[in-house]
Amino acid sequence: MSTFAASHLSPSYPDRAAWGTAPKLRAWQQEAFDLYSSREPRDFLAVATPGAGKTTFALRIASDLLSRGIIRAVTIVTPTEHLKQQWADAASRVGIAIDPEFKNSQGATSRDYIGVAITYAQVSMHPALHRARTEARKTLVIFDEIHHAGDAKSWGDGVREAFEPAARRLALTGTPFRSDVNPIPFVTYAEDGDGIRRSLSDYSYGYGPALADGVVRPVIFLAYAGEMRWRTRAGDEIAATLGTPLTKDQLGQAWRAALDPKGEWIRQVLRAADRRLTEVRRGVPDAGALVIATDHETARAYARHIRTITGEGATVVLSDDPTASKKIKEFSASEQRWLVAVRMVSEGVDIPRLAVGVYATSISTPLFFAQAVGRFVRARKRGETASVFVPSVPTLMGLAGEMEAERDHVLDRKPPEEGLDDFLLEDAQRKKDNPDVVGDELPFETLEAVATFDRVLFDGGEFGSAAETGSPEEEDFLGLPGLLEPDQVRTLLSKRQSDQLKAKRSRPEPKEPQLAPHELIANLRRELNGLVGAWNHRTGQPHGVIHAELRRACGGPAIAQASAEQIQERIDKIRHWATQRSH
């Protein structure tokens, strides 16, 4: 078999080359391929942002090694059953016949195939079988999203046993970091200056460079806050405002109320997201939208809301549905507006026309969030943008604000002991039949959940201010054109924010009830502490350091002695920092 087909492979399947690319490898793919060819390594780890074209890169290497006789077989290991089929389809386009239906019970596959596609779970169930297959022929093993090999000790041990004798191993990931400290097989770790072991990649291509190259779309995050009220099992009624400083329990309960399909919050956000989709479709006629739900019950309920809002049904993909892969494939090839899925579409699934997302789950690990957002960044032509609607929760705001940050998998650290970010990825990817959002330990009944537009996050900056859903202020951001260059997005967001501030200054201020001095200062302190918390998530700076920087920048005494005017000045300062690319 020649490498002709692979060398003329479209940068992303199928025929979805980004604007400005010829039918050949993208610049990063060619650079990584040249590096691989010059080293001829047994192990190679390529880290490339979701949507960059890792599949194309890997199959180009496989074609080259097969043509030169360095390998005789290919084994592709994936996180999910659906991805096995996706890899087999892609490989067939370059003349590599892969069996995606291989079962452990078979022992061997047909001689018509050059290799097989299997899952990490499949390997862990019978590593000796896969070791024997690997030893029988010189094999290239492609690990898709290699971090999954660390999901459980049995998975990692199985992968090591099965593929230790492989002639070549090519590891791929878009998100090399994990939420735990399980080592990833065949990944090299090295100590940094602090004695902490970090993963080392052989080639890395992050979201920032990919965005600059026009390989991925810019992501606009639209955050929604709101008033929540619920009744606990004990009969107590509790109210809280999502988007304001809350305790861990209050935040968990308010978040749960927001995502409750019986409340108005999710309906209002879905309605806003559908309006955004309509605007995007003016420039991208086949653009689609995805809701990432927490469990089966809420997924079906969200689909009913979408039918009410749009007048047409949504495709619902559940993890135990044997037709899930078929539904995803049909949705990808159609012009249907909405897809609703339970977590399983968060990673690896290739639906490039997805341009609008609703993050309607409580999972908040950096890994899961990055994988979820990765579903919307796959560019097909220059100027396409992605819009993701998220609850106004500090953890998510921090993750959205640091989209361009590069991360490594870090060992020798303790998993976080508190906060919403201590869900393990295994739990995030597991099949769910019942609700399990944050706050299950305090069962309650949602009494009221009303959404308000909070702000827009883009490229590390924040734009807009609180507004009612359906208001002209919200519409300013929902109506952004669907085809914009990254610099145009920032310019337009800045202009709309400026226009809103001018309009607000020109309107007579409504008279608010006069607060007692102690009430006013307490409110301002809460607002400042909330902003400091969000800045901590973005920069990693301790809260005390941020307060000290604000004090140096604005003057005045410590926060405990500061006047209302001095606290307001610090609030204005940190908001100004947030509109800048960096501080």
Highest mean pLDDT among 11-20, 162-171, 338-347: 162-171
Q: Which residue has the higher pLDDT, 348 or 307?
A: 307
Whether the predicted pLDDT of 3 surpasses 80: no
Q: Which residue has the higher pLDDT, 529 or 113?
A: 113
Name the band, by pLDDT with cuts 50, 70 and 90, for residue 482: confident
Q: Which residue has the higher pLDDT, 145 or 507?
A: 145
Q: Both tokens of residue 267?
A: 């309906």
pTM as predicted = 0.69
Name the band, by pLDDT with cuts 50, 70 and 90, for residue 512: low
Q: What is residue 506's predicted lDDT score, i.e. its pLDDT?
A: 67
Which is nearest to 180 in space by CA: 404, 367, 451, 390?
367
Q: What is residue 530's predicted lDDT score, i.e. its pLDDT?
A: 76
Name the band, by pLDDT with cuts 50, 70 and 90, for residue 209: confident
Q: Which residue shows structure tokens 């995803």?
A: 328
Q: Phi, psi at residue 184, to the nearest 5°? A: -100, 125
Whether the predicted pLDDT of 200 surpasses 90: no
Looking only at the bridges linking them, the beta strands covering 315-317 and 237-242 are: unpaired
Name the band, by pLDDT with cuts 50, 70 and 90, for residue 454: very high
Name the band, by pLDDT with cuts 50, 70 and 90, for residue 285: very high
Q: What is residue 497's predicted lDDT score, i.e. its pLDDT?
A: 81
Q: Concatenated DSSP letters for 239-308?
A: EEEETS---HHHHHHHHHHHH-TTSHHHHHHHHHHHHHHHHHTTTSTT-EEEEEESSHHHHHHHHHHHHH
Q: What is residue 423's predicted lDDT score, i.e. its pLDDT?
A: 33
Whether the predicted pLDDT of 577 surpasses 90: no
Whether the predicted pLDDT of 287 surpasses 70: yes
Q: Both tokens of residue 461?
A: 């900056």
Q: How do the residues of the chain divide into helix, strand and coil, expressed in percent and rounded to 5?
A: 45, 20, 40
Q: Concatenated DSSP letters for 408-462?
A: --B-SSPPP-SSGGG--HHHHHS--SS---TTTTS-EEEEEEEEEEEEEEETTEE
Name the band, by pLDDT with cuts 50, 70 and 90, for residue 572: confident
Q: Is there a contact between 410 and 190 (Cβ–Cβ < 8 Å)?
A: no
Q: In what helix (H) or strand (E) does residue 140 lie, and over which residues does it extend?
A: strand 139-143
Q: Both tokens of residue 513?
A: 């009830």
Out of 66-80, 409-423, 562-576, pick the least confident.
409-423
Q: What is residue 580's predicted lDDT score, i.e. its pLDDT?
A: 66
CA distance 108 to 91: 19
CA distance 341 to 314: 10
CA distance 336 to 314: 8
Q: Is there a contact between 136 and 72 (Cβ–Cβ < 8 Å)?
A: no
Out of 226-230, 280-284, 491-495, pick the least confident.
491-495
Looking only at the bridges linking them, the beta strands covering 197-200 and 188-191 are: antiparallel
* Mean of pLDDT values over 104-108: 90
- CA triplet 456, 457, 463: central angle to 5 degrees? 50
Q: Both tokens of residue 34?
A: 């040249």
Looking only at the bridges linking them, the beta strands covering 98-99 and 115-119 are: parallel
* Mean of pLDDT values over 511-515: 65
Q: Both tokens of residue 421?
A: 């970010």
Out of 114-123, 193-202, 226-235, 311-320, pick the least confident.
193-202
Whether the predicted pLDDT of 143 surpasses 60: yes
* Mean of pLDDT values over 367-375: 83
* Mean of pLDDT values over 138-152: 85
CA distance 227 to 451: 7
* Mean of pLDDT values over 142-158: 81
Cα–Cα distances in angstroms (integers) from residue 178 to residues 47, 422, 515, 530, 573, in the given order: 14, 11, 47, 27, 34
Q: Which residue has the higher pLDDT, 511 or 71?
A: 71
* Mean of pLDDT values over 285-298: 93
Q: What is residue 35's predicted lDDT score, i.e. its pLDDT?
A: 96
Which is nearest to 429 in space by CA: 213, 121, 160?
121
Torsion sign, CA atoms 499, 500, 505, 507: positive
Q: Is there a contact between 146 and 45 (Cβ–Cβ < 8 Å)?
A: yes
Whether the predicted pLDDT of 579 surpasses 80: no
Q: What is residue 182's predicted lDDT score, i.e. its pLDDT?
A: 67
Judging by beta carbons within 10 Å of its beta carbon (0-12, 13-18, 19+), is residue 478 exposed, middle or buried? Answer: buried
Whether the predicted pLDDT of 233 surpasses 80: no
CA distance 534 to 243: 10
Highest mean pLDDT among 306-310, 378-382, 453-457, 572-576: 306-310
Q: In what helix (H) or strand (E) does residue 142 lie, and over which residues does it extend?
A: strand 139-143
Q: Is there a contact between 100 and 88 (Cβ–Cβ < 8 Å)?
A: yes
Query: Mean pLDDT of all residues in the chain?
Result: 82
Whether the predicted pLDDT of 13 surpasses 60: no
Cα–Cα distances in angstroms (integers) from residue 139 to residues 135, 226, 318, 349, 383, in the given order: 8, 55, 34, 26, 41
- 3-class DSSP state of 217: coil
Collect all residues with Cβ–Cβ distance below 8 Å to 301 and sequence separation of at least 6.
Answer: 261, 262
CA distance 205 to 127: 32
Q: What is the pLDDT of residues 401-440, one digit of tens each?
A: 877 555 444 444 444 433 333 333 334 333 333 333 344 4
Whether the predicted pLDDT of 27 surpasses 60: yes
Q: What is residue 313's predicted lDDT score, i.e. its pLDDT?
A: 92
* Mean of pLDDT values over 331-356: 82
